[in-house]
Amino acid sequence: MSNNSSCFWVAEVYEKSSLNYSQQDQEYILMTEEEFNYSDIDISSYIKKIVGTIALCKNNRIPNGAWIKRLYVHKDYRKKSIGSFLLNVALEFSIMQGYNRVNIVISEYRKDAKKLCIRKGFELYLCYKKPVFRSLITMLVYELTYQINYYINENFMAIDPYYAYYILNS
């Protein structure tokens, strides 16, 4: 990426070249590139496919905020926790970069993506109609936001309020 405050990730799948479509309903092991590099998995008989993407960049509209863009998982690989894993990676990166808020824009036609983001803790920030075809057709668009709360003490910084409460009161 052009700077350290932005990043782009891809989700890759390694599958046996002999799999046919009906056999692809299998369980996948999700791991980061670093975890994969340290594993002893022999991929010599596998085919690599890119099945998902996500990007995170600075939000110039909201101070200390970020945008999630390009969240996509191939239709044959949805409902396998790949989107959830990609969101986790982007949110962890945003925390490491010190962002306080992460927003994402999702159209009314991406209901599963909206549900996933809400399960992850995103909340509705804005809802508006966007002109699509010469203003004759409009599409409902949701902007969701994920608020990152920091609990800071002299000795620690926590993101989870329950963890902060536990540490402060023990």
Q: What pLDDT, in 10s, does the model give residues 111-130?
A: 999 999 999 999 999 999 99
Predicted confidence (pLDDT) at residue 137 exceeds the cutoff of 60: yes
What number is the average pLDDT over the span 25-41? 84
* pLDDT at site 23: 47
Structure tokens at 39: 């594993």
Handedness of CA 137, 70, 53, 146 (dihedral sign): negative
**Band (105; pLDDT cuts 50, 70, 90):** very high
Closest to 92 (Cα-Cα) out of 70, 115, 68: 68
Residue for token pair 């999700």: 30
Closest to 32 (Cα-Cα) out of 64, 5, 7: 7
Q: How many residues does the chain have?
A: 170
Beta-bridge partner residues of 143 = 105, 126
* pLDDT at site 89: 94
Predicted confidence (pLDDT) at residue 161 exceeds the cutoff of 60: no
Which residues are within 8 A (CB) of 127 and not within 5 positions of it... i.e. 6 or more apart?
140, 141, 142, 143
Beta-bridge partner residues of 129 = 140
Closest to 44 (Cα-Cα) out of 14, 74, 11: 14
Q: Say if residues 1 and 8 touch (Cβ distance below 8 Å).
A: yes
| CATH 3.50.50.60 corresponds to the domain 7-169 | no
Q: Say if residues 71 and 11 touch (Cβ distance below 8 Å).
A: no
